[in-house]
Chains A and B, each alone.
Chain A
Amino acid sequence: IAGITQAPTSQILAAGRRMTLRCTQDMRHNAMYWYRQDLGLGLRLIHYSNTAGTTGKGEVPDGYSVSRANTDDFPLTLASAVPSQTSVYFCASSAPGRGYTFGSGTRLTVV
């Protein structure tokens, strides 16, 4: 089934630990995005990539990094997790001028 696969679905992480959230798409979309969703704050863009080999910062990039080595994969790394990074993380992809396809999300709790 075409779409976006995110892993893990949920994770409890000790503060200070490093964590990579995985995102893979099979639609050959050029653009990919990472959002965090927090109650009352909607969807906030962390990082994006318009095409393989390029990345850009979104609204809330601090504490996060991304890479885009190929079209299909767009991992998000928390170098040293803090409790304020507790959130639900969504990966998405899109073709030019079209809507986004979202993954099912990763629920991350930093303790």
Chain B
Amino acid sequence: QQQVKQSPQSLIVQKGGISIINCAYENTAFDYFPWYQQFPGKGPALLIAIRPDVSEKKEGRFTISFNKSAKQFSLHIMDSQPGDSATYFCAASGAGAGSYQLTFGKGTKLSVIP
């Protein structure tokens, strides 16, 4: 079964701290790993994505770390701010896995407290 397991379910971080959300996948045919950010009352929006030819991708305060051998990837939010408070979803897909459909994790609710 194509699954993406995400943890933790919820996370509370102090302002200025590092937020870390982890995901693990099973299907080795996955070759595209995006993260989505969702604010209350809004649809998810693409935040950052990585392909398995690199081990890390950084965009501003957001970094994806990718470990192909362990079949794990994680989102790191540096210098976390109250405005980062949102629900984050990891996902995975791959043409080799049969379709371009994304398989989503169940989400992590991040709260950044002042």
Seen from chain A, the residues whose Cβ lies within 8 Å of a Cβ on chain B are: 4, 31, 33, 40-43, 45, 48, 50, 90, 92, 94, 96-105
Contacts and interface: CB of A to CB of B under 8 A. Distances in A.
Nearest to B6: A42
Contacts of A105: 41-43
Nearest to B101: A48
Contact of A97 (B36, B42, B43, B95): B95
From DSSP, what is the main secondary structure of chain B's interface residues?
Answer: strand
Contacts of B42: 104-105
A43 B106 CA distance: 7
A27 to B, nearest CB: 13
A33 B104 CA distance: 13
Given A40-B106, A42-B106, A42-B107, A90 B44 contact: yes
A50 B99 CA distance: 9
Interface of B: 9, 32, 34, 36, 41-46, 49, 89, 95, 99-102, 104-107
A71 to B, nearest CB: 16
B89 A45 contact: no
Contact of A104 (B9, B43, B89): B43
Contacts of B89: 42-43
A43 to B, nearest CB: 5
Instruction: Please name the 3 residue pairs, one residue from A and one from B, whose CB atoms are nearest each other, closest first.
Output: A102-B43, A42-B106, A99-B46
Nearest to A30: B100
Nearest to B44: A102
A40 B6 CA distance: 12
Interface centre among A4, A33, A96, A100 (most CB of B within 10 A): A100
A97 B101 contact: no
